Amino acid sequence: MKLMRGVSGVAGIVLFIVGGSLFLVGAVLFGVAFLMTSYARLALLITGGALMFSGVIPLIIGWVLWREVKKERMRLDRLKGSGVRYDATVERLEFNNNVRVGHSLSARAECRYENFEGSSMVVTSGSFLADGRQEYRAVVYVNHRDASDYAVEIFQV
């Protein structure tokens, strides 16, 4: 079985790489401008500054997405260690047609698991890349004190 990864982690890494590249290119142009003594210096200063500014925004967004993924991973690890594990079935996939990578779409899953009180339905907190033709299985980790504190792992069967 293959563990399905979240979309925000991939987007965070891509934005971090793009923002870092733009920022570095802008910093190099900005630095080269100080070595020049012609009219091209002003053009390089403006271009370098614009690229540095354009690189900071994706860097910040990528860092925020990366922090969210890290926070979710820490919550999952905490619930794996102290929570109750339930095997769940994926009832329905909610596709987000705005995010597409190859043949996969971004999706959230509604999962149903059986506990001592009966049947409970949960929705994944984050999106993952899903192919509609695949079968999925879920594992739900629930805090034994608070049922609203849960984490879902999706596996491709």
- Is 61 found in the same domain as 11? yes
**Domain limit, last residue, from 78, 98, 116:** 78
- The DSSP-derived string for 46-113 is HHHHHHHHHHHHHHHHHHHHHHHHHHHHHHHHHHHHHSEEEEEEEEEEEEEEEEEETTEEEEEEEEEE
pLDDT in tens, 13-55: 888 888 889 999 988 988 888 887 777 788 888 888 888 888 9
- pTM of the model as a whole: 0.70
Q: How many structural domains compose the chain? A: 2
Residue 70's domain comprises: 2-78
